[in-house]
Amino acid sequence: EAGVAQSPRYKIIEKRQSVAFWCNPISGHATLYWYQQILGQGPKLLIQFQNNGVVDDSQLPKDRFSAERLKGVDSTLKIQPAKLEDSAVYLCASSQQGLNNSPLHFGNGTRLTVT
Partner 1 sequence: GQQVMQIPQYQHVQEGEDFTTYCNSSTTLSNIQWYKQRPGGHPVFLIQLVKSGEVKKQKRLTFQFGEAKKNSSLHITATQTTDVGTYFCAGAGGTSYGKLTFGQGTILTVHP
**How do beta strands 10-13 and 19-24 pair?**
unpaired
- Does 2 help bind partner 1 (rule: CB under 8 A)? no
Which has the closest alpha carbon to 106: 37, 16, 11, 15? 37
- The one segment of 20-28, 53-61, 65-73, 74-82 that binds partner 1 by CB under 8 A: 53-61
Strand partners, 23: 6, 75
**Residue 55 contacts partner 1 per CB under 8 A:** yes
Residue 39 interacting with partner 1 (CB under 8 A) = no
Report in angstroms how near the CB of residue 114 gets to partner 1 at its nearest: 20
d(CA 39, CA 32): 22
Residue positions counted in the chain: 115
List of residues contacting partner 1 (CB under 8 A): 31, 33, 35, 40-45, 48, 50, 55-56, 58, 91, 98-101, 103-109
